[in-house]
């Protein structure tokens, strides 16, 4: 065990690999945060589409969700990695490919969470809102979604943590995130035990920190939870 | 965009053989890792409901540590970092028997064991407390109560979320390609490399995964129907 390798490369691993500030176009957080935001927006739209009354909207949404939930993320990343150049005509940087793949893949999982969150709101709420004269859109936006969001928080946070961990797979196509940064350092220093254990701890602290933060927020929003 | 589809590359020459080998390796690594995950999940899931506080801590530490780190990191850890620390005899054995395969099995098994543990814990907690008390009062020891009463009932309760986890394990076995296990995604990439037909290769791999997932889901729903205890089903704990 020789922890000097961590100290010597701390800047590269954390500032470049984890946060994403530096000469390379990389960074775990720089990929994870936009992926979470965009994935949540797309996921909400697809989740709502699954609840639409028209068959032409809810069937494609269901197919989308079931398709992406049945395929490994690695496969989806390769799809975008190989097919975007064919479709667009030129190759895109790893960052764009990875971001697109994560947003589209995670949206399928987030859509399910949004759908079950909306379905968990008592039926009477929607009916009462309609009865007061709100339109269907207003009911959704002002009455259902705010309550649904609160019910969804635990599952959403779990999924965001999954996404944060999943971004490590972007290293497969050469994106310099924390995992790739550790690989790069390891190729030079040959200290796998220290390096991989160190990044495991970094991932652990951020994932566990996120879950604790969510618990704290949940308790503040809903004092009845012990 | 002009892309010429040549689907027959999938069943001509070596490629069909590669795909078949990929499917076999994916199923092998998933099956062995599944058994390991189930064993670890049962043990730690039971520990987390144990009456003694230190036992609960051990279970919780295992789950929280392994669940919160990406599987890819565990793959690298078990493949690159652990083998040099093993005794020489074991290192030699690994070298001859596919070190990457066994590293992949351990990485998948230990990671998913932590996730199975949560499913099993929720199953155990869904069993009324009176069952424990009744079992203990008949003279069974704590270990016997778990082995003969609690675990068998919990296993029957958790089939739906366990199905989800099983499918996750199967899909996550694709991560093993990073350490060189020649499973399905690896072979798909190999076909792409040799034939430069990305679309066909990826479509074939994707279809196979979908079919595998569907088959397992159907199989598990049969098991669910056979083993379900009327009026008792623990649902909604299997988010990935």
**For B28-177, which CATH superfamily applies?**
MetI-like (1.10.3720.10)
Rounded CA separation B75/B173 (Å): 10
Tell me what pLDDT residue A154 has.
Answer: 84
**For residues A44-66, average pLDDT:** 93
Rounded to two decimals, the ipTM of the complex is 0.87
Tell me what pLDDT residue B238 has.
Answer: 40
Residue A64 lies in a domain: yes
Domain membership of residue A69 as a residue range: 4-221
Listed by number, the residues of chain B in 132-191 with a beta carbon closer than 8 Å to a beta carbon of chain A are 167, 171-175, 177-178, 185, 188-189
How remote is the C-alpha of B235 from its chain's centroid?
19
The total number of structural domains that make up chain A: 1
Tell me what pLDDT residue B51 has.
Answer: 85
pLDDT band at B84 (very low <50, low <70, confident <90, very high): confident
When scoring A72, A97, A213 by the number of chain B Cβ atoms within 10 A, the one with the most, hence best to mutate, is A72
Residue A192 lies in a domain: yes
Please state the pTM of the whole predicted model.
0.88
**B55 touching A, CB under 8 A?**
no
Q: What is the pLDDT of residues B118-157, one digit of tens each?
A: 999 999 988 888 988 999 999 999 899 999 999 999 988 8
**B214 touching A, CB under 8 A?**
yes
CB spacing of A159 vs B209 below 8 angstroms: no
Of residues A217 and B46, the one with the higher pLDDT is: B46
Tell me what pLDDT residue B2 has.
Answer: 65
Chain mean pLDDT for chain B: 89
Whether residue A38 contacts residue A177, with contact meaning beta carbons closer than 8 Å, is answered with: no
Residue A49 lies in a domain: yes
Q: What is the pLDDT of residues B5-64, one digit of tens each?
A: 778 777 777 888 899 999 999 999 999 999 999 999 999 999 999 888 999 999 999 999
CB spacing of B84 vs A168 below 8 angstroms: no
Tell me what pLDDT residue B96 has.
Answer: 86
**B202 touching A, CB under 8 A?**
yes
How remote is the C-alpha of B18 from its chain's centroid?
23
Q: Give the other-Cβ count within 10 Å of B237's Cβ.
A: 19
CA–CA min distance B1, chain A (Å): 6
For residue A209, the domain's CATH number is: 1.10.3720.10
Question: Between A and B, how many CB-CB pairs are < 8 A?
Answer: 116
Q: Where are the domains of chain B?
A: 28-177
Count of helices and strands (H, E) across chain B: 11, 0
The alpha-helical segments, DSSP class H, found in B49-183 are 53-67, 71-76, 88-96, 99-125, 129-137, 142-144, 151-157, 159-172
Residue A226 lies in a domain: no
Tokens of residue B21, six digits: 């080998």
**For residues A204-213, average pLDDT:** 91
- Closest CB to B206: pick one of A71, A113, A195: A71
Q: A interface toward B at CB cutoff 8 Å? A: 67, 70-75, 78-79, 82-83, 86-87, 89, 109, 113, 155, 158-159, 161-162, 165-166, 168-169, 171-172, 179, 182-183, 186, 192-193, 195-197, 199-200, 203-204, 207-208, 211
Chain mean pLDDT for chain A: 89
Rounded CA separation A184/B85 (Å): 22
Tell me what pLDDT residue B119 has.
Answer: 92
**For residues B158-164, average pLDDT:** 89
């Amino acid at each position: 065990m020789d922890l000097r390798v961590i100290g010597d490369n701390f800047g590269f691993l954390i500032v470049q690999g984890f946060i994403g500030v530096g000469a390379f176009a990389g960074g775990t957080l720089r990929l994870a945060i936009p992926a979470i935001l965009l994935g949540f927006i797309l996921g909400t739209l697809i989740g709502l589409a699954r609840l639409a009354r028209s068959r032409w909207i809810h069937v494609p949404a269901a197919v989308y969700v079931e398709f992406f939930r049945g395929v490994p993320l690695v496969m989806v990343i390769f799809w975008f990695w190989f097919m975007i150049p064919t479709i667009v005509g030129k190759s895109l940087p790893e960052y764009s490919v990875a971001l697109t793949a994560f947003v589209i893949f995670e949206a399928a999982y987030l859509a399910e969470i949004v759908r079950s969150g909306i379905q968990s709101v008592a039926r009477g709420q929607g009916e009462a809102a309609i009865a007061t004269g709100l339109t269907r859109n207003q009911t959704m936006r002002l009455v259902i979604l705010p309550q649904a969001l609160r019910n969804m928080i635990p599952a959403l946070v779990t999924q965001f943590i999954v996404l944060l961990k999943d971004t490590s797979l972007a290293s497969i196509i050469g994106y310099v995130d924390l995992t790739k940064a550790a690989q790069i350092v390891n190729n030079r220093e040959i200290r796998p035990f220290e390096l991989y254990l160190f990044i495991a701890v970094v991932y652990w602290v951020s994932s566990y920190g996120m879950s604790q933060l969510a618990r704290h927020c949940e308790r503040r929003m809903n004092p009845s939870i012990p | 965009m002009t892309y010429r589809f040549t689907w027959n590359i999938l069943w001509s020459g070596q490629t069909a053989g590669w795909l078949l080998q990929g499917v076999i390796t994916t199923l092998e690594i998933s099956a062995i890792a599944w058994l390991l995950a189930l064993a670890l999940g049962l043990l730690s899931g039971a520990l987390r409901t144990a009456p003694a506080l230190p036992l609960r801590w051990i279970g919780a530490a295992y789950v929280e540590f392994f669940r919160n780190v990406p599987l890819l990191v565990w793959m690298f850890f078990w493949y690159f970092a652990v083998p040099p620390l093993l005794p020489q005899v074991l290192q030699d054995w690994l070298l001859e028997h596919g070190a990457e395969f066994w590293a992949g099995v351990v990485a998948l098994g230990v990671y998913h064991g932590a996730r199975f543990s949560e499913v099993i814990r929720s199953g155990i907690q869904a069993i009324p407390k009176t069952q424990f008390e009744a079992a203990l009062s008949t003279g069974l020891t704590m270990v016997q109560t778990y082995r003969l009463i609690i675990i068998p009932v919990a296993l029957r309760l958790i089939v739906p979320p366990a199905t989800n986890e099983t499918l996750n394990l199967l899909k996550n076995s694709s991560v093993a390609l990073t350490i060189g296990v020649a499973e399905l995604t690896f072979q798909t990439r190999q076909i792409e490399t040799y034939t430069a037909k990305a679309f066909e290769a990826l479509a074939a791999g994707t279809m196979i995964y979908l079919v595998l997932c569907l088959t397992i889901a159907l199989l598990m729903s049969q098991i669910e129907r056979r083993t379900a205890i009327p009026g008792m089903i623990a649902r909604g704990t299997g988010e990935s």
